Chains A and B, each alone.
Chain A
Amino acid sequence: MAERVFITGMGMITAIGDTVTANYNSLRQQQSGLGFTQYLDTMYQGVLPVAEVKHSSEALSEMAGVPHQPEYTRTTLLGLIAIQEALQQAGITQQLHTTPTGFVNSSTVGGMCDTEKVYFDIIDPEKHGDFLKYIDTLDCADCTQRIADKVGITEAVTTISTACSSSANALMYGARLIKQGVLRRVICGGTEALTRFTLNGFNSLKNVDKQPCRPFDHQRNGLNLGEGAAYLVLESESLVRENGSQVLAELSGYCNSNEAFHPTAPSPEGDGAYAAMSQALAMSGRSLQDVQYVNVHGTATWSNDLSEGKALERLFGDQVPPFSSTKPFTGHTLAAAGAIEAIYSVLAIQHQVVFPNLNFSEKMEELSIMPETRLLEQYPVQTVISNSFGFGGNNASLVISKYEG
């Protein structure tokens, strides 16, 4: 019998807060993190809203406890701040070595946020200087290793990149390592900094809204990008018992499925989303009636919300539970989104709330359902489905359940 997997620590930083608590407060107060960038060098500075973390990289270095140097990209700094909170919350100080701890990180473009500023110097033989230190940060492994080295993780490190489902897959992979007894504790999540590269990528796909995004609205017109990092500490049931760890929630089910439909678009009937949600729920041993909240992927692109909405209707019939996209708060944080929203799911269970879907006014005519637009309080949330869907047809759903002992 495979062990159950528990969440024993969480840490995060997003445009709506530097900590889990700050994020929770902003969600409650319906305080969006969207605005115009202060730190990104782009012609879209005052045109396309983004959800930027409200600190310069210098300030982030200080918060992360590292010198402000090229080796520490914004991607790494965001990750360091989030993971240190997660470790602290889990009460892990000196035990990283006594209990072999793995680290499954995720990233979509690694240190691109900083390397794109110096790339043309890097390839110019006439140019020399400190910027050459950025060469090491070109890939996705760099941020993972710098984070691991700073907090002292030595046992197992790896990095996943499956576009917008990356950190959901990191959580899933960590949980599977625990269930099969490879490791007893794995820290999983992702980190993502805004880049001109990615902003232009999504904009070239005509997927970026000039207004704050409107998930599941008939007039929706694309996503807003965001940045942030989030990590969850996963522990096996036996380790939790041995250490007396405080359990925040159970990661009770998960599924990774692929649309096999199109490089950047989901199938109109939501086949992949349906498969991911239904199989994750089946694994959790919970029924449809047990699900009180779905934190949807809800990017507010035309195709995602249609496809995801269809999948919700197929799965739940006319009993679709309250659902909301929190992307109007945080923007779409790509690799970090799955872990950020997994934490929001845990918060929904801990505080018995459903977070509102901002900016919604008009029902989609293809759907019979509408997102929850109010903050529901004292709502009996026991089980949450959290969705993350991405390019390459990569779909991931997580089921997070209240800890019942």
Chain B
Amino acid sequence: MKGKCYIQGAAAITPQHTFEGDLLSSPLVSGAGNMLSIVEPDYKAFIPANSLRRMTRLLKMGLTTALKAIQDSQLSTPGAIVTGTGKGSLQDTERFIKDIRQYEEKALNPTPFIQSTYNAVNGMIAVQQQVTTYNNTFVHRGFSFESALQDSLLLLAEGVSHTLTGAFDEISAEHFYIKSRIGHWKTATVNNAELYHHLSPGTISGEGASFFVLAAAPTVNSYACIAGLKMLYKPSPATLTAALSAFLAEQQLTVDDIDLVLSGRNGDSNFEHYYTHMDASWPSVPQLPFKHLCGEYETAGAFALWLGAHIIRAQQVPQQWYPFQHSFPGRINRILLYNHFFGDQHVFILLEHAVIPGA
């Protein structure tokens, strides 16, 4: 993918304390079991109480994160709203399926149906911010957020001044059980802080919302530059290796130019071999995982981007989130993000310091 963009605003609601406070001092939230849930912020600061009562969890998460990202950017109303979600509002979907059965298809409340629509969050943001321009929602598992990012890069190249780009997914107890039946999760309970010590079939589940305001040109407020994006569908290990070389070569870079790899590894022995294979491509680059922070879900890559952007801006890793790590890189101007979702959708994202010193 050609084209670059700059992160001008960012916000995230995740199983960690990411929504408010200082990233570098907020403690690691751990030990909650195999289903990580978000730390709920005070939604009332963003959404009027009478609206809040009608909204389900994912809608609250999505809308609030979007509003905070816009606020953080200090920019005017965005010229486009582009999002990704793997599952949409599970709570509403589950409720409507049950209502149909319980009430035998009669006198149903339409609200869960309306809110189960995958573009419901986008519609709410548009109404709230009066954004009457481009609006799109991608729903493709581990490419959901990354497709939204690609669409945003196209929009910026087409002349849109700045986009609101984000992702949101929730997990419910019912859906956790459903996915456990096809082996998505570890059978033994693990502490997320020790996720990588438990290489066994399955991982831990997560959820979260992450939003960004993206612009074509940098400002002093830029977090970082998204310099490249590559999605690969069901690649072979050899294809992955070749794609990485081509991806870096497009930027006139080699792996030696990368200061940090943010890796999506998640302790799942069924799909660990992709990460092991790629480790050989960056043997001497410092590497940090992120799934112990957010759990596994379709749009976890959006959280990784949020984390990477903050690391670049702070020039520092939130070390308290890495009790198992002994050394951290000093200078962090380029981060390579590599993630895949249960082996099918693989993504590389290159993040750079907004203004590379000496460049």
Interface on A for B, CB 8 Å cutoff? 42-44, 107-108, 116, 119-120, 122-123, 125, 132, 135-136, 138-141, 144-145, 148-149, 154-163, 169, 173, 176-177, 180-182, 196-197, 200-201, 203-205, 256-264, 271-272, 275, 390-394
Does chain A have a CB within 8 A of B126?
A: yes
Known: A123-B177, A132-B182, A197-B96. A161 touches B118 (CB 8 A): yes
Does chain A have a CB within 8 A of B100?
A: yes
Known: A120-B101, A391-B117, A391-B119. A138 touches B178 (CB 8 A): yes
Does chain A have a CB within 8 A of B269?
A: no
B110-A256 in contact (CB<8A): no
Chain B residues with CB under 8 A of A136? 182
Q: Chain B: which residue is nearest A43 at the CB level? A: B105
Known: A197-B97, A257-B134. A42 touches B126 (CB 8 A): no
A260-B101 in contact (CB<8A): no
Partner of A201, one of B81, B106, B113, B131: B113
29 contacts between A and B (CB under 8 A): A42-B105, A108-B117, A116-B97, A123-B174, A138-B178, A139-B139, A148-B233, A154-B234, A157-B143, A158-B140, A160-B138, A161-B117, A161-B138, A161-B139, A162-B135, A162-B136, A169-B136, A176-B158, A200-B108, A201-B113, A257-B135, A258-B81, A258-B134, A260-B131, A262-B127, A263-B114, A263-B124, A391-B120, A393-B126
Does chain A have a CB within 8 A of B189?
A: no
B233-A258 in contact (CB<8A): no
Does chain A have a CB within 8 A of B325?
A: no
Chain A residues with CB under 8 A of B181? 122, 132, 135
Known: A159-B138, A263-B124. A181 touches B104 (CB 8 A): no
Chain B residues with CB under 8 A of A263? 114, 120, 123-124, 127
Given contacts A149-B234, A263-B124, 11 further A-B contacts (CB under 8 A): A141-B140, A141-B144, A144-B140, A145-B344, A160-B138, A176-B151, A200-B96, A200-B108, A258-B133, A260-B127, A391-B120
Closest Cβ–Cβ distance, residue A146 to chain B (whole Å)? 12
A-contacting residues, B332-352, CB 8 Å: 344
Does chain A have a CB within 8 A of B8?
A: no
Contact digits for B85-110, partner A, Cβ 8 Å, 1 yes 0 no? 01110000000110011001110111
B143-A158 in contact (CB<8A): yes
A-contacting residues, B302-350, CB 8 Å: 344
Known: A145-B344, A263-B114. A157 touches B127 (CB 8 A): no
B110-A201 in contact (CB<8A): yes
Chain A residues with CB under 8 A of B127? 260-263, 393
Q: Chain B: which residue is nearest A153 at the CB level? A: B233
B114-A182 in contact (CB<8A): no
Interface on B for A, CB 8 Å cutoff? 1-3, 81, 86-88, 96-97, 100-101, 104-106, 108-110, 113-114, 116-120, 122-124, 126-127, 129-141, 143-144, 147, 150-151, 154, 157-158, 174, 177-179, 181-182, 231, 233-234, 344
A158-B179 in contact (CB<8A): no
Q: Chain B: which residue is nearest A259 at the CB level? A: B132
Chain A residues with CB under 8 A of B104? 43
Chain B residues with CB under 8 A of A272? 132
Q: How far is the CA of A205 from the CA of B109 in the complex (A)?
A: 8
Q: How far is the CA of A391 from the CA of B92 in the complex (A)?
A: 16
A139-B113 in contact (CB<8A): no
Known: A162-B119, A162-B135, A258-B132. A176 touches B154 (CB 8 A): yes
The 3 closest A-B pairs by CB, nearest first: A392-B123, A201-B113, A161-B118
B97, B116, B140, B181: most-surrounded residue (chain A CB, <10 A): B140
Closest Cβ–Cβ distance, residue A394 to chain B (whole Å)? 6
Q: Chain A: which residue is nearest B128 at the CB level? A: A260
A123, A139, A154, A258: most-surrounded residue (chain B CB, <10 A): A258
Partner of A271, one of B116, B120, B132, B134: B132
A123-B178 in contact (CB<8A): yes
Chain B residues with CB under 8 A of A148? 233
Q: How far is the CA of A333 from the CA of B140 in the complex (A)?
A: 20
Closest Cβ–Cβ distance, residue A75 to chain B (whole Å)? 13
Known: A122-B178, A135-B179. A256 touches B117 (CB 8 A): no
Known: A182-B1, A196-B100, A271-B132. A391 touches B114 (CB 8 A): yes
Q: Chain B: which residue is nearest A169 at the CB level? A: B136
Q: How far is the CA of A209 from the CA of B225 in the complex (A)?
A: 52
Q: How far is the CA of A275 from the CA of B134 in the complex (A)?
A: 11
Q: Chain B: which residue is nearest A201 at the CB level? A: B113
Q: Chain B: which residue is nearest A44 at the CB level? A: B105
Q: How far is the CA of A302 from the CA of B140 in the complex (A)?
A: 33
A156-B117 in contact (CB<8A): no
Q: How far is the CA of A108 from the CA of B233 in the complex (A)?
A: 22
Known: A43-B104, A135-B178, A181-B2. A394 touches B135 (CB 8 A): yes
A394-B123 in contact (CB<8A): yes
Q: How far is the CA of A105 from the CA of B104 in the complex (A)?
A: 33
Q: How far is the CA of A169 from the CA of B179 in the complex (A)?
A: 30
B135-A392 in contact (CB<8A): yes
Partner of B140, one of A132, A140, A261, A271: A140
Partner of B100, one of A123, A200, A390: A200
Closest Cβ–Cβ distance, residue A7 to chain B (whole Å)? 20
Chain A residues with CB under 8 A of B182? 132, 135-136
A260-B178 in contact (CB<8A): no
Chain B residues with CB under 8 A of A197? 96-97, 100, 113
Q: How far is the CA of A158 from the CA of B344 in the complex (A)?
A: 12
A139-B143 in contact (CB<8A): no
Q: How far is the CA of A394 from the CA of B122 in the complex (A)?
A: 9
Closest Cβ–Cβ distance, residue A101 to chain B (whole Å)? 12
A196-B105 in contact (CB<8A): yes
A260-B96 in contact (CB<8A): no
